[in-house]
């Protein structure tokens, strides 16, 4: 299904945003409701379900925290995330130096955390049962941990030298956090430990000959602005402004040396990319200029480029229940990428006699093309 993703002509996402879209999140409980955050501070909540049951439909916006809302973010919203355990709450963080905890039913902030600098990224653990910590990456090199229970941001992780552009909790171990910084480093932390930092990932795997002392223990030769764990938490994918993407063994910290080629990345802030879930093999969906590049995570092969946006793509999110992808762009559009319907093959025709000239040899005879529909 992922190999046949295409821009769906029958599904639209209602266009509400009047400026670029920076962040998307689909709630993990039902996979039905999606949040988006825009560079004008606006947050929109969509219902992805086809309530009309017609083949062509528009995903409707249920609510908007618009410019006239008293608690709207003053500047660009960089990250939105649903509370992982139910849809009654969601979170947003912004260049206005705040993180807001929203009550979905009243659309009022239940809590607001204030920081000294711009907030680039925040994340709640998808698996935590013993803590309610939100990790926050800001213009400060210190990683902030905000406790939802106490409402205070007591905990600080120190070790980075420059601003923290990306944070991500492990989906496997509830106390393990990965952070990526403009200093080129990716650090793994156990937030129960006083010293905090477990390891600093090293692209050269400790081979001193390859690394000048300057580059020792850097994950990238540029700013690290994107992090994403694989669904099982065993690997971590990182992306940097050195136009490289790297896959790490998250338990040993080893660079697996998968080569994805040049992954163009000119973003001055966090880049929100996604990894598939429940696919074999797993895929990475990476904003790449005005397209989305689809890679196989473990072999590094560039499978396809999804084209449809008119301007820079800032974020994408994967819907695992139906293997669908949604992307948000500077062009103010959210696009839905849906697997092409597969043609039924009559019993008396062998698969081999179907026209094959338009199939990528990597998955020959797997899917029919969309040219033959209707």
The pLDDT assigned to 178 comes to 97
DSSP state of 363: G
**Is the model's pLDDT at 191 over the cut of 70?**
yes
Peptide bond between residue 36 and the one before it cis (omega within 30 degrees of 0): no
Distance CA 45, CA 37 (A): 9
Which domain, by its residues, includes 100? 2-339
Could you tell me whether strands 334-339 and 235-240 are parallel, antiparallel, or unpaired per DSSP bridges?
A: unpaired
> Residue 70: inside a domain, yes or no?
yes
* Mean of the per-residue pLDDT values of the chain: 90
Contact between 286 and 239 under an 8 Å Cβ cutoff? The reply is: yes
**Is the model's pLDDT at 362 over the cut of 70?**
no
**Is the model's pLDDT at 187 over the cut of 90?**
yes
Token couple for 245:
């993407």
Tens digits of residue pLDDT in 227-275:
999 999 999 999 999 999 999 999 999 999 999 999 988 787 889 999 9
The pLDDT assigned to 126 comes to 95
Distance CA 269, CA 120 (A): 7
DSSP state of 361: G
**Is the model's pLDDT at 360 over the cut of 60?**
no
109 vs 340, which has greater pLDDT?
109
Domain CATH number, residue 230: 2.130.10.10
Segment 148-171 shows an average pLDDT of 91
Percent of the chain with pLDDT over 70: 89
Distance CA 194, CA 296 (A): 37
Beta bridge partners of 156: 144
The pLDDT assigned to 209 comes to 65
> Residue 356: inside a domain, yes or no?
no
The pLDDT assigned to 356 comes to 47
**Is the model's pLDDT at 59 over the cut of 50?**
yes
The pLDDT assigned to 206 comes to 86
Segment 69-80 shows an average pLDDT of 96
Contact between 63 and 49 under an 8 Å Cβ cutoff? The reply is: no
Number of domains in the chain: 1
The pLDDT assigned to 354 comes to 47
The pLDDT assigned to 181 comes to 96
Distance CA 19, CA 44 (A): 12
Segment 287-308 shows an average pLDDT of 96
Beta bridge partners of 159: none
- Nearest Cα neighbor of 17 from 38, 35, 34, 33 is 38
136 vs 352, which has greater pLDDT?
136
> Residue 229: inside a domain, yes or no?
yes
> Residue 365: inside a domain, yes or no?
no
The pLDDT assigned to 45 comes to 97
> Residue 271: inside a domain, yes or no?
yes
Tens digits of residue pLDDT in 21-53:
999 999 999 999 999 999 999 999 999 998 888
The pLDDT assigned to 357 comes to 46
Q: Which pLDDT band holds residue 153 (cuts at 50, 70, 90)?
A: confident
> Residue 355: inside a domain, yes or no?
no
> Residue 57: inside a domain, yes or no?
yes
Asked whether the CA dihedral 178, 88, 101, 226 is positive or negative, the reply is positive
> Residue 12: inside a domain, yes or no?
yes
């Amino acid at each position: 299904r992922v190999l046949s993703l295409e821009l769906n002509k029958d599904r639209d996402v209602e266009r509400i945003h009047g400026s670029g879209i920076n962040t998307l999140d689909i709630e993990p409980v039902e996979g039905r409701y999606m949040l988006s955050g825009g560079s004008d501070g606006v947050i929109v909540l969509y219902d992805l379900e086809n309530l009309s049951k017609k083949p062509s439909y528009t995903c409707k916006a249920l609510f908007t925290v618009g410019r006239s809302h008293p608690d709207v973010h003053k500047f660009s919203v960089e990250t939105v995330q649903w509370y992982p355990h139910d849809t009654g709450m969601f979170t947003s963080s912004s260049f206005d130096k705040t993180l807001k905890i929203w009550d979905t039913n009243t659309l009022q902030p239940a809590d607001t955390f204030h920081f000294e600098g711009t907030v680039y990224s925040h994340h709640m653990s998808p698996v935590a049962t013993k803590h309610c910590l939100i990790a926050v990456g800001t213009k400060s090199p210190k990683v902030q941990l905000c406790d939802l229970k106490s409402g205070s941001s007591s905990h600080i992780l120190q070790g980075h030298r420059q601003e923290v552009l990306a944070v991500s909790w492990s989906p496997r171990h509830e106390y393990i956090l990965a952070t990526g910084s403009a200093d080129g480093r990716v650090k793994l932390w156990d937030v129960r430990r006083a010293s905090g930092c477990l390891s600093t990932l090293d692209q050269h795997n400790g081979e001193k000959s390859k690394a000048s002392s300057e580059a020792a223990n850097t994950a990238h030769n540029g700013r690290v602005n994107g992090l994403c764990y694989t669904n099982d938490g065993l690997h971590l994918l990182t992306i940097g402004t050195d136009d490289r993407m790297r896959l790490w063994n998250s338990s040993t910290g080893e660079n697996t040396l998968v080569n994805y080629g040049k992954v163009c990345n000119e973003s001055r802030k966090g880049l929100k990319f996604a990894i598939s879930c429940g696919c074999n093999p797993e895929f990475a969906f990476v904003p790449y200029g005005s397209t989305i590049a689809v890679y196989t995570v473990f072999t590094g092969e560039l499978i396809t480029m999804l084209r449809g946006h008119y301007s820079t793509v800032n974020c994408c999110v994967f819907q695992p229940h139906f293997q669908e992808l949604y992307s948000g762009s500077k062009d103010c559009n959210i696009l839905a990428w849906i697997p092409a319907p597969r043609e039924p093959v009559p019993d008396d025709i062998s698969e081999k006699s179907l026209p094959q000239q338009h199939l990528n040899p990597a998955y020959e005879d797997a899917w029919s093309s969309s040219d033959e529909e209707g």
